[in-house]
Chains A and B, each alone.
Chain A
Amino acid sequence: MDMTLLLFLGFIVITLGITAWASRRSGSSASFFAANRSITAWQNGVAVAGDYMSAASFLGIAGLIAFFGYDGFMYSVGWLVAYLTVLLVVAEPLRNAGKYTMADVLAYRLNPRPVRAMASLSTLVVSTFYMIAQMVGAGALVALLLKGSHISFTMAVTGVGVLMIVYVVFGGMLATTWVQIIKAMLLMAGTILLSVLVLAHFHFSLSEFFTAVSQVSYHAPDGKLVVKDFLTPGLRFKPPYGPLELISLGLALIFGTAGLPHILVRFYTVPDAKTARYSVVWAMVIIGSFYIMTTFLGFGAATIVGRDFIAKNGGTNMSAPLLAKVMAGDVFFAFISAIAFATILAVVAGLTISASTSFAHDFWTNVIKSGKVRSQGEERFVARIAAFVVGAVAIAIAIILGPTANVAFLVALAFAVAASANLPVIVFSIYWKRFNTTGAVCGLAAGLVASIVLILIGPSVMGIDAASVAAAVRHPIQAAPIFPLENPGILSIPIGFAGALLGTLLGEKDPHAVQRFEELEVRANTGLGSEKAVAH
């Protein structure tokens, strides 16, 4: 049997074992939704890193650097800096004030039903779109990595989907956490190994390495051989809109990460705010080291493998696996491919649990049932059904879209909604006394609608293709884009904040919300009355 497939199966067996172990410990809501709040700082830090470093980072950014040099590396920077927003502004108050979801913090002082309904909708939009993007990528990738083993795109997508449903439905947050931890460790091990191999290729001389990077040769589309300095900015982000695009992307990362539901729920798995703080620092150490090493992965692929070879053998996303193959042969290629597979599985599992938790806890329990469920088990049961449905829908949509669909805009959309809808209302409800229910509903709605509309009228969806462009990669709307940027953050984030601000000022004054703010302020800052870890 094929080595890659064997390693895939090994990872599946180990993670299913963890799921079986976790399922015996997922008998209460605190364990199913929050892993008993017993995860330690380093464990949660590694798991946050695991949730965050998707295949888009591992394969995507390495590929962008291999093809566009410095401009690809620009992506790497924002992913780490974004965690300062999480650390300084969101993580600790969230852990102190909430229970299972982001909406807990909003519902604490505002009218819970409308606020939870909107927050749940926004969570589902972010998670499902992000998940579909991951699944399409996963299917295409698995089919490519296992070329020759008769595994089709449809089989790969279904397999990934079924596995993520199994982890979440049977193992809950505990299994999901450990899948993230294993995946993050594998990813770091693979990245460090590859980086060392690249450095060894240049005799461990950084000056030799960067000299090679400053003269990368490849064939331009017109067939001419060109030599480019890959450290020069501007190979991808070109005027007139390139610089604005970079700033807009940066805004979405810096403000969106702290609004991503699958990252936020991780802070409920630790015993207290102090542990949450240390886990962010752990995550930052890992995530930062990883993104610095993308330098070696990406530039290594550009100089050692070469753009021409990658373009002929699967395209940008194959840069890191091909680098492994060229450096150390088929076994290492299989290892790196298996890591990419683990990465995808772990990320979609994290998205599934955050989506299903929000549906069960926010929408079912608190909106439909007005907070009065018959038993604690009901909420878990609904979450399991929701995980199943969300997973099935994502599988179906990914299969309909097919392996060649351009889904990068779905990732941009997820970050834009997180930054424009979620973050403004989280920040205002923790820090602004006057904030009220109207403000929260308006902020969430404005951010959500602005992000979706700007993406729909932007260059990801609108564009005029030449007749020769294949049907699957054609722009859905054949017209010139109305909004010039792929990342709407620069406009949608101010719209989200403005919606929350205007809604608050125009809405009725809410003395109850102001009074509850005093309580929230104490709770968020001291941890008084916060959810405790469950001893077991």
Chain B
Amino acid sequence: MALPQPIPMPKPGNGDAKKTRWDRVQEMDEFRLLLLAKKEFVIPATITFVVYYFALPVLVGYAPELMDRKVLGPVNLAYLFALSQFFVAWGIAFAYVRAARTFDKYGAHILSTLKKEGFDDSTTGKEGL
């Protein structure tokens, strides 16, 4: 078990003597791009699944006749809509895993840049964590 370590010491050759590894990442273009890429996927995906999911109880609750319409032999719209929720959820999860490959690439690039510049990757940092 590693003991909590102090905030990394200023590294020689970094110009700004007080700059921490956190500050360094914050100013990298890749980090901005990573946050942007995440936002561009996560916000629309979240809105999609929340809207699609709540459409089910709203329609079942307030338009029961519509939802009870038989569409496939004895099977009604309500059951098929509920069943589709599972496949939509799986679809969004797999889409996220695909999108996250890009996030991982940015992340790996950021960490390797840091390493080249002499910052460490040790576990920190805050007392009591």
- Of the residues A108, A247, A518, contact of B129 by C-beta under 8 Å: A108
Q: Which residues of A283-320 are within 8 A (CB) of B?
A: 284-285, 288, 291-292
- Known contacts: A84-B92, A211-B74, A233-B78. The answer to whether A529 contacts B125 by CB under 8 A is yes
Q: Interface 1/0s, chain B 89-107, versus A by CB < 8 A?
A: 1101110110010011001
Interface contact B129-A107, CB-CB below 8 Å: yes
B68:A210 contact, CB within 8 angstroms: no
Contact assessment for B85 and A528 in the assembled complex, using a CB-CB cutoff below 8 Å: no
Find out whether the CB atom of B61 lies under 8 angstroms from the CB atom of A244. Answer: yes
Of the candidates A76, A376, A525, the one whose C-beta lies within 8 Å of that of B34 is A525
Is A526 a contact of B74 with CB atoms below 8 Å?
no
B76–A232 contact, CB under 8 A?
Answer: yes
Cα A249 to Cα B54 with chains together (Å): 11
* Contact with B64, one of A81, A229, A233 (Cβ below 8 angstroms): A233
Question: Does the CB pair A288–B54 fall under 8 Å?
Answer: no
- Residues on A with C-beta less than 8 A from B124 are 529
CA distance A246 to B58 in the complex (A): 8
Q: Are A531 and B123 in contact (CB under 8 A)?
A: yes
Is the beta-carbon distance between B127 and A80 smaller than 8 angstroms? no
CB contact under 8 A between A280 and B22, given known A108-B126, A233-B64, A522-B31? no
Instruction: Please indicate which of the listed interface residues B21, B38, B89, B123 has the most CB atoms of chain A within 10 Å of its own CB.
Output: B89
Interface-centre pick from A73, A76, A104, A233 (highest chain B CB count, 10 A):
A233
Contacts of B86 in A (CB 8 A): 77, 80, 288, 291-292
A11 within 8 A of B: no
- Among B31, B42, B90, B114, point to the contact of A88 (Cβ < 8 A): B42
Tell whether A254 is near chain B: CB-to-CB under 8 Å.
yes
Q: Is B46 an interface residue (CB 8 A)?
A: yes
Is A74 positioned at the interface, with any CB of B under 8 Å from its CB?
yes
Task: Tell whether A519 is near chain B: CB-to-CB under 8 Å.
Answer: yes
Binding site for B on A (CB under 8 A): 28-30, 70, 73-74, 76-78, 80-81, 83-85, 87-89, 98-99, 104, 107-108, 112, 207, 210-211, 213-214, 229, 231-234, 237, 242-244, 246-247, 249-250, 254, 274, 277-278, 280-281, 284-285, 288, 291-292, 365-366, 370-371, 376, 516, 518-519, 521-523, 525-532, 534
Beyond the given A73-B79, A87-B96, A210-B74, please list 5 additional residue pairs across the A-B interface where CB-CB is below 8 A. A87-B93, A88-B46, A250-B57, A281-B93, A288-B90
Subset of 16 A-B contacts with CB under 8 Å: A30-B1, A70-B79, A80-B86, A88-B92, A98-B129, A107-B129, A229-B74, A233-B64, A246-B61, A254-B53, A518-B23, A519-B20, A522-B21, A522-B31, A525-B107, A528-B121
